[in-house]
Structure 1
Amino acid sequence: MGFDPTGRLLPTPDDPDAPARAERLRQLGVGAEADPAFDAAARDLARLAGTPLALVTFVGERHQFFAGLYPPPGQGESRTAPRDRGFCPYVVVRRKALVLDDVTDYPRFAGNPVVDEEGIRSYLGAPLLDLDGRALGTVCVLDRLPRPWGRPGLESIKAAAAELSARILAGAAG
């Protein structure tokens, strides 16, 4: 959920594509289990962006699954979160990259639980798209400090998303 200036939490946007996306994720065999290749992709994203955190996220009907995490979770830590946590569900619904240099500058996002509970201050994410243009999930990098991502950051995250999308779809075809 986001936060508006009147102090109300804003709901995660409606996601009419959620059932079709969940079915497509099942067909592709992704989004339900951790995968070392996705953890490696998250690590590479964090290194490329110079951030302490990165995710490869698949968004289901009721929750999001972090198939790739950097740093990797500790033993027993969950790789799932409700759809109202974080920013990836917005990227998936919009099917567009999201650049938040300082999330506290955006009332819709400033009250998100990851801001208050985990100290996230900046976010840069892009959708993982299938051949039909359906967003399956996201790749993103996060920081606990505000960051001016700029056009180079935006272009880098979009390129990383396109590359990983191609790898996911090639794996399903192979």
Structure 2
Amino acid sequence: MRARTDPWFSNFLLRVSDEVEEVIDQDYVRIPDDMTIPYTDETASKDALINEIFPSFATNAHSFYYSFDEAEDDTHNYYPLEFLNSLNVSGLPLHHLRLKIGCLIILLRNLDLANRLCNGTRLICKRFDPSVINAEIVVGQHAGVRLLLPRIPLAPSEEDMFPFKLKRT
């Protein structure tokens, strides 16, 4: 199969919609050999499929990013860090974010419109550095552009959710 950076599947779907791809019995489209995994036996074929969909899974299975949580208006330190880390708030990522090289990221807010970092932008993880994620834009006119995603401070939208203001970076 082809490398993930090549938009081969998107191009294939466009050719199917344009009726350029070979059709069988007017209802089926022939999938090219380079887009399939040959069947040998159930275990080997399943392993080959998993390795194709999740490349380097074993190597990247433990790529974690941990948040820096704080209660901004807690001057007396009433809320221990372990408690803040345990909070799962709608609209915020978990305290520990598990990522792997090749995984898809979708931005949920505008970060830098001038540099194409806006809500809904789809990226693929290329490398993990201590304080940034090295990623590449997948689709659109800026496909292929590499970016560095920094740590971003986030806060829940409902201000009365807690008796303190939670900030997760």
TM-score by length of 2: 0.29
Q: Which has the higher contact order (CA 8 A, sep 6+)?
A: 1
TM-score by length of 1: 0.28
Say which one has the larger Rg: 2
